[in-house]
Structure 1
Amino acid sequence: MLSISEFSQMCHLSPQALRFYHAEGLLVPAETDERTGYRSYAFDQVEQAMLIALLRDTGMSVKLVRQALDEPDRAVALLDRHSDEVHRQRGAQDEAIRAARSVFEAQPEPRLRHVPAMTVVAMLVHGTPLGRDAQEWDRAEATVAAATAELVARVQEVGVRCLGRPRRALAFETQTPDRRVLDGEGAAWMVEVPVAATTAALAALPADLLVHAQAARDELAIFMPGRNTMAKYGTVILRLLHAHPLDDGRFVDIARLRQEIHDDGVLSSAPVEQQPE
């Protein structure tokens, strides 16, 4: 019989790891002194220890290791499944590293810009979650992205030319405002695209699309690198609100915040309004 210290040295597993594997039922000592708790191992347990170490070195959970040991015929399939998950996690980590680096390198700050007058075609996006958690936010992003592609296609079908990138905004400012946005019952978002078209072409648009003239205005805009997230959306709002003071009693109308999705990030902008007298 081998002491836990001897077995530890032979298998290159620490005594702490051996005690953990014992507690988890992966590698039960051949003998345990009931009075002292002293553990002893048999030489033929070396192979079991080796298999456990191999599987744990892959990053497998104890649960998966136990399954692989209990059903050796499934071990390769379990390793394949684990490998897929490792690659998924590694890809997510690589994306997170790129996003973190881009934000710290760019140091995004708001800038004041002037936007000319334009004609805009908009569409309400029904069934959009409010994004109260990460999963709901991702579903909302996918829904809004699909609606954006649909809007552009429908506009182009009737020969109306799109100018610039589509945008999305909370559905507070439409010709028929739906205040149910606030309690989650109505369309949470709308998508819109600037267009160039004659009056006749605009009249040919489907009735559920909204057309409005946007006057020339000043905006505060900020570009946030990486994919759109709930935390970044909140950060953008804070930075716009805390931007340099505006003169003549003007303020940033966050309720009319718009976003343009780019390949390398999100451009958010909000109009600068005059305080009422």
Structure 2
Amino acid sequence: MLSISEFSEMCHLSPQALRFYHAERLLVPAGIDERTGHRSYAFEQVEQAMLITLLRDTGMSVKAVRQALDEPDRVVALLDRHHDEVHRQRKAQDEAIQAARTVFGAEPELQTRPVPAMTLVATLVHGTPLGRNAQEWEEAEALITATATALVKTVEDAGATTLGRPWRALALETPRQEGRVLDGAGPFWIVKVPVAAPAEVLAALPAGLQVQEQDPYDEMSIFMPGRNTMAKYCTATLRLLNANPLDDGTFVNLARLRQELHDDGVLIAAPVEQRPGQGHPAR
């Protein structure tokens, strides 16, 4: 029998790690002194310790390691699944690092630009949760993105040309929509894409799609790098809110806030509108 210190040196595992593996029932000592509580190990347990170390060095959780040891015929499949998860996490971390570099290297700034007149095709996004927490936000993001992708395909299949990226906004365009958002019934989001198409193509679009003619306007925006999160959405909203009121008598209308996803981040923007009684904004 080997003492815990001897076994520790032989297996290159600290006594603390061995005690932890014992508590987790991964590597139970061959013997425990009832009087002193000292642990001792059998030489044959070196192989078990080696296998645990191999699996733990991959980053597998204790739970996954236990499953691998209990089901040796599934170890390769479990390692493949773990590899895919590690790859996904590394990709997410790389994107987060790049986003952090961008934010800290060049603080996102508000910008104002003119938006031309355009024809839009819009559709409500059904079934999204309220977005009260990170999980609901991710679920809503997936549904909104899927709806936007389907919208682009539908209008292009119908013969229309998309003129830019689709975007999403809160569904507050009619009193009915606003009422359903405020009472929590939904739909909460609407997706739009700018298009060019003959009138007959637009008229033949499937039911449920809305064709809207948008007049030109000025827009204030901020670009937040990285994936779209609730915190970034709130930060951008706060930046735009702090711009109000503007010196020329205009204001940023946050009720018409929109989000436009890009490969490297999200553009969050809202129209700059004239305050009542102030005349027309300069263009």
What TM-score bracket applies, with the shorter chain setting the length?
0.7 to 0.9
Find the aligned partners of 2:21 and 2:98 in 1 and give their Cα distance.
Answer: 37
Q: CA deviation at 1:195?
A: 3.8
2:99 maps to amino acid: A
Which residue does 1:234 correspond to in 2? 234
Q: What are the ranges of 5 or more consecutive residues in structure 2 without an aligned counterpart?
A: 278-283
Deviations 1:162-201 (A, max 9, x none): 4333322111014864420123313211122334456666
C-alpha distance in 1 between matches for 2:199 and 2:265 = 34
Q: Which amino acid aligns with 2:140?
A: A
* Contact 1:170/1:189 (<8 A) preserved: yes
**Structure 1 stretch 124-133 or stretch 9-18: which is displaced more?**
124-133
Moved more, 265-274 or 201-210: 201-210
The SS at the match of 1:127 is coil
SS at 2:124 equivalent: strand
Alignment deviations for residues 205-240 of structure 1 (CA, whole Å, 9 cap, x no partner): 555333333333222111122222222211110111
Higher mean alpha-carbon deviation, 203-212 vs 98-107, is at 203-212
CA shift, 1:253, in A, is 0.9
Structure 1 length normalisation: TM-score?
0.85
Where does 1:50-65 land on structure 2 (aligned, <5 Å)? 50-65=50-65
Q: SS where residue 276 of structure 2 aligns?
A: coil
SS in 2 for 1:237: helix
Farther off after superposition, 238-247 or 181-190 = 238-247
Secondary structure of the corresponding residue to residue 212 of structure 2: strand
Decide whether the 8 Å contact of 2:244 with 2:251 is kept in 1. Answer: no
User: Quick one: structure 1 residues 244 and 180, their matched pair in 2 at CA, closer, same or farther if it must change by over 3 Å?
Assistant: closer
The number of equivalent residue pairs is 277
Q: Spell out, residue by residue over 1:62-94, the C-alpha distance to the aligned partner (whole angstroms, 9 max, x if none).
A: 223233333433333333333333223222222
| Structure 1 residue 14 corresponds to structure 2 residue 14 | yes
Structure 2: how far apart are the matches of 1:50 and 1:246?
67
Q: Provide closer, same or farther for how the CA distance between residues 202 and 131 of structure 1 changes in structure 2, counting only shifts above 3 A.
A: same
1:104 aligns with 2:126: no
Tell me, yes or no, if the aligned pair for 1:168 and 1:258 is still in contact at 8 Å.
yes
The structure-2 alpha-carbon separation of the partners of 1:52 and 1:116, relative to structure 1 and needing over 3 Å to count, comes to closer
**Which piece of structure 1 moves more, 197-206 or 237-246?**
197-206
Determine the structure 2 residue equivalent to 1:140.
140
2:259–2:268: 8 Å Cα contact kept in structure 1? yes
- Equivalent-residue separation in structure 2 for 1:49 and 1:107 (angstroms): 49
What is the TM-score of this pair, normalised by structure 2?
Answer: 0.84
Residue 154 and residue 70 in structure 1: after superposition, are their counterparts in 2 closer, same or farther (change >3 A)?
A: closer
Q: What are the within-5 Å matches in structure 2 for residues 16-31 of structure 1?
A: 16-31=16-31
Name the CA shift for 1:29/1:263 in 2 (closer, same or farther; >3 Å): closer
Q: CA deviation at 1:39?
A: 2.1
1-structure distance, mates of 2:38, 2:63: 26
Instruction: State the match for 1:37 in structure 2.
Output: 37
The sequence identity of aligned pairs, in percent, is 72
Please give the alpha-carbon distance, in whole angstroms, between the structure 1 residues aligned to 2:31 and 2:22. 11
Change (3 A) 1:38 1:162: closer
Query: In the alignment, is the contact (CA less than 8 A) between 2:245 and 2:252 conserved in 1?
Result: no
* Distance in 2 (alpha carbons) for counterparts of 1:192 and 1:146: 13
Aligned-partner residue type, residue 31 of structure 2:
E
**8 Å Cα contact 1:260-1:267 kept in structure 2:** yes
| Residue in 2 that maps onto 1:275 | 275
- TM-aligned CA distance change 1:239 to 1:204, over 3 Å: same
The list of structure 1 runs, each at least 4 consecutive aligned residues, that deviate by more than 6 angstroms after superposition, is: none
Contact 2:177 2:187 in 1 (8 A): no
State the match for 2:281 in structure 1: none
- Residues 4 and 15 of structure 1 are in contact (CA less than 8 Å); yes or no, is this contact kept in structure 2? yes
Q: State the AA in 2 paired with 1:109.
A: E
